A and B are shown apart, each in its own frame.
Chain A
Amino acid sequence: MSQPGSETNPLRVAIIGAGPTGFYTADHLFKQKDVVVEVDMFDRLPTPFGLVRLGVAPDHQKIKSVTKAFNRTAGRPKFRFYGYVELGKDIMLEDLRRHYHQIIYTTGAQSDRKMGIPGEDLPGSHPATEFVAWYNGHPDYRDYRFDLSQESVAVVGIGNVAMDVARILSSAPEELAKTDIADYALEALSQSAIKEIYILGRRGPAQAKFTNPEIKELGELADADISVLPEEAKLDSLSKAALEAGQDRAMMKNVEILQEYASREPAGKRRKLTMRFLVSPVELIGNEEDGVTAMRLVRNELYATEAGTLRPRATDQFEEISVGLVFRSVGYRGKPLPGVPFNDSWGVILNQTGRVLNPDTQQPVVGEYTAGWIKRGPSGVIGTNKPDALETVTCMLKDLAKGLTLTPADPAVEAVEKLVQERQPNFFSYADWLKLDEIEVARGKELGRPRLKFTCVEDMLAALGR
């Protein structure tokens, strides 16, 4: 048979994971002028968009507008979506090899790193991602419970996710009611007794990675006074030197904003949001019955690594803060997919510029690729996945030109359709999603909200009359 990529013998590509990276990949493939490509996109969830729907904070709707571009990609005639079909459960790698020339994994980073301290698994201590998934209406997390009757909560970490969590916990019910936060979460958070929220950073104000708008937002909340300890807002000599050498304007601005917070008088709002720097939790104190009751912290100082990063090092000064709820956000790692080589040190699929590698030979595995967070780890913004996907697609096309693809026994579209029908009769098509989307937006409109999300599969099926 001729090389795939023609009208009569199109290049059949399976994309596993319908997050931003999956859509950027499809888009790059469809832009090829001299290769005819058919894309089937699978996701374990009924709804597309990955973390854009279920990670990005509900009060950051503008960021979610990127889905308009994804809808355009999905509108291509040679695009199909199979939602609610999980690789490793409903379909297997062998199935994909029988139906596709190329397979690309864009499954994201699905699990949290641990802090590795005593008491971490006490009731009341959670990965921040579980809370994020819960308030965003992720079907797997809707039944999780978080004890919002506590008065004091600590968020460990100072990246975007930690900032999102702290902001949601500090927000007024009226602020949340304007978002697409899951309805059960809106209700639970409206009754929250939380008065004191700590954000704990291991390093200093000059190493925090948040953007200027993110840090400004925290100073403008209706229900919470922001507070920073003056001694922690001051720069140590190493940080000062690094800032001056790097000429990093955004970082300098962050420090300025934080120093302004340090000098602010509290306005007597209902809640207090305290940002702490140069501290690390060393133990969560409590017991199985009452859960977490306190957290022991060590103060850190900074030192420069060989490669030039300023890292925290524990001193011998400790303190204790009383907290009843803890969310940790100290990093993500990908989860291995059955049968797909994994690099355990980095928590990503073993790959070189997107080509999956055989761990024994370190040579590419024919026909298998990866992109996005599961390829490079959790870094950058949504748009960073676009050039990243392009790098992989470039490899896919080069390999195609060399004849290096799988040789599927049954590449017909209908064959896949039939297989999915058998394995997951309740799968969701893109037309199904567009209908759900329309209903969600309409339900939201009545309430003055961007949308009212469906959060369980049964409700989604029912809404589609199935």
Chain B
Amino acid sequence: MTIDPHQTIRDALATLARHNFGALVVVNQANKPIGIISERDIARLAAKNEDLFSIPVNEVMTKNVITGIRQDELKAVTNTMTEKRIRHLPIVDSQGTLIGIVTLGDVVKAERNIFEGEVDTLRTQILADEA
């Protein structure tokens, strides 16, 4: 899920395809995020430049990457992702080192699971009342 800034778009596409990811976090040598590059970024680039394959990642990536921390709340993260239209949120520790990435899909899934879980738990309790 990470790539080095000096690797090329060709490398990025290969990694995206191999792991079926939608974006890669660009990290420096200390494993700190310095950018993010998504399928969408590459598609946009391809529309105007057919010789994109050997361009280094750091010329294409989004540099102002928004990151989250482990303690961030699901609701806040969902809001931020929908409002700012971001689909991938790199998660860092207190040193700013990358420890994971949360996708919009992850967030939607977690919300659904929490909702389903609450319904199921409430249902068992109501049934217990009737018994």
Contact surface of A with B, Cβ cutoff 8 Å: 62-63, 65-66, 68-69, 242, 245-246, 248, 305-311, 345-346, 362, 379-388, 391
- Given A65-B127, A306-B68, A308-B80, check contact A345 B100 (CB 8 Å): yes
In the complex the two chains form, what is the Cα distance from A384 to B128 in whole Å?
19
**Chain A residue with Cβ nearest B69:** A305
- Chain B, residues 73-105, CB within 8 Å of chain A (1/0): the string is 101110110000000010001000001100000
In the complex the two chains form, what is the Cα distance from A69 to B131 in whole Å?
13
Contact surface of B with A, Cβ cutoff 8 Å: 19, 66-73, 75-77, 79-80, 89, 93, 99-100, 109-110, 112-114, 116-121, 124-125, 127-129, 131
Instruction: Evaluate contact between B120 and A309: CB separation under 8 angstroms.
Output: no
Instruction: Evaluate contact between B68 and A380: CB separation under 8 angstroms.
Output: no
Instruction: Evaluate contact between B124 and A66: CB separation under 8 angstroms.
Output: yes
Instruction: Evaluate contact between B113 and A384: CB separation under 8 angstroms.
Output: yes
Chain A residue numbers with a CB within 8 Å of B117 are 380-387
Chain B residue numbers with a CB within 8 Å of A385 are 117
Instruction: Evaluate contact between B114 and A384: CB separation under 8 angstroms.
Output: yes
In the complex the two chains form, what is the Cα distance from A310 to B72 in whole Å?
8
Instruction: Evaluate contact between A306 and B66: CB separation under 8 angstroms.
Output: yes
Instruction: Evaluate contact between B69 and A383: CB separation under 8 angstroms.
Output: no
Q: Per a CB cutoff under 8 Å, which of A242, A309, A381 touches B72?
A: A309
Instruction: Evaluate contact between B113 and A306: CB separation under 8 angstroms.
Output: no
How far, in Å, is A55 (CB) from chain B's closest CB? 14
- Given A62-B129, A345-B99, A383-B116, check contact A307 B121 (CB 8 Å): no
Chain B residue numbers with a CB within 8 Å of A382 are 117, 121
How far, in Å, is A218 (CB) from chain B's closest CB? 20
Instruction: Evaluate contact between B127 and A307: CB separation under 8 angstroms.
Output: no
Q: Per a CB cutoff under 8 Å, which of A65, A307, A384 touches B76?
A: A307
Listed residue (A307, A311, A380, A387) with the most chain B CB atoms within 10 angstroms of its CB: A307
In the complex the two chains form, what is the Cα distance from A331 to B93 in whole Å?
16
Q: Per a CB cutoff under 8 Å, which of A248, A362, A383 touches B119?
A: A383
Between-chain CB contacts (< 8 Å), 5 pairs:
A66-B124, A306-B67, A309-B76, A381-B114, A383-B119
Instruction: Evaluate contact between B80 and A383: CB separation under 8 angstroms.
Output: no
Given contacts A307-B67, A387-B116, A391-B109, 20 further A-B contacts (CB under 8 A): A65-B124, A65-B127, A68-B124, A242-B76, A246-B75, A248-B75, A305-B68, A305-B69, A306-B67, A306-B80, A307-B77, A307-B80, A309-B77, A345-B99, A345-B100, A380-B114, A380-B117, A381-B117, A381-B121, A386-B120
How far, in Å, is A389 (CB) from chain B's closest CB? 10
Instruction: Evaluate contact between A383 and B118: CB separation under 8 angstroms.
Output: yes
Instruction: Evaluate contact between B72 and A386: CB separation under 8 angstroms.
Output: no
Q: Per a CB cutoff under 8 Å, which of B19, B71, B125 touches A63?
A: B125
- Tell me the interface secondary structure of chain B in the complex: helix
In the complex the two chains form, what is the Cα distance from A310 to B68 in whole Å?
12
Chain A residue numbers with a CB within 8 Å of B112 are 387
Instruction: Evaluate contact between A311 and B71: CB separation under 8 angstroms.
Output: yes
- Tell me the interface secondary structure of chain A in the complex: helix
In the complex the two chains form, what is the Cα distance from A460 to B2 in whole Å?
52
- Given A62-B125, A63-B125, A345-B99, check contact A307 B68 (CB 8 Å): yes
How far, in Å, is A81 (CB) from chain B's closest CB? 21
**Chain B residue with Cβ nearest A352:** B19
Instruction: Evaluate contact between B100 and A346: CB separation under 8 angstroms.
Output: yes
In the complex the two chains form, what is the Cα distance from A172 to B24 in whole Å?
56
Instruction: Evaluate contact between B72 and A308: CB separation under 8 angstroms.
Output: yes
* CB-based closest 7 A-B pairs: A384-B117, A383-B120, A65-B128, A383-B117, A307-B68, A383-B121, A308-B76
How far, in Å, is A61 (CB) from chain B's closest CB? 9
Chain A residue numbers with a CB within 8 Å of B68 are 305-307
Chain A residue numbers with a CB within 8 Å of B119 are 383
**Chain A residue with Cβ nearest B128:** A65
Listed residue (B109, B117, B127) with the most chain A CB atoms within 10 angstroms of its CB: B117
Instruction: Evaluate contact between B66 and A346: CB separation under 8 angstroms.
Output: no
How far, in Å, is A245 (CB) from chain B's closest CB? 7
Q: Per a CB cutoff under 8 Å, which of A65, A68, A307 touches B89?
A: A307
In the complex the two chains form, what is the Cα distance from A305 to B71 in whole Å?
10
- Given A308-B76, A346-B100, A380-B114, check contact A65 B70 (CB 8 Å): no
Q: Per a CB cutoff under 8 Å, which of B66, B109, B110, B114 touches A307?
A: B66
Instruction: Evaluate contact between B128 and A305: CB separation under 8 angstroms.
Output: no
Chain B residue numbers with a CB within 8 Å of A391 are 109
Listed residue (B77, B79, B121) with the most chain A CB atoms within 10 angstroms of its CB: B121
Chain A residue numbers with a CB within 8 Å of B120 are 383, 386
**Chain B residue with Cβ nearest A251:** B75
- Given A380-B114, A383-B118, check contact A308 B128 (CB 8 Å): no
In the complex the two chains form, what is the Cα distance from A62 to B130 in whole Å?
11
Chain B residue numbers with a CB within 8 Å of A242 are 76
Instruction: Evaluate contact between B73 and A346: CB separation under 8 angstroms.
Output: no
In the complex the two chains form, what is the Cα distance from A246 to B69 in whole Å?
20
Chain A residue numbers with a CB within 8 Å of B79 are 245-246, 308
Q: Per a CB cutoff under 8 Å, which of A63, A307, A310, A381 touches B69?
A: A307
How far, in Å, is A366 (CB) from chain B's closest CB? 18
Instruction: Evaluate contact between A308 and B124: CB separation under 8 angstroms.
Output: no
Chain B residue numbers with a CB within 8 Å of A309 are 69, 71-73, 76-77
**Chain B residue with Cβ nearest A377:** B70
In the complex the two chains form, what is the Cα distance from A308 to B110 in whole Å?
17
**Chain B residue with Cβ nearest A211:** B118
In the complex the two chains form, what is the Cα distance from A380 to B74 in whole Å?
11
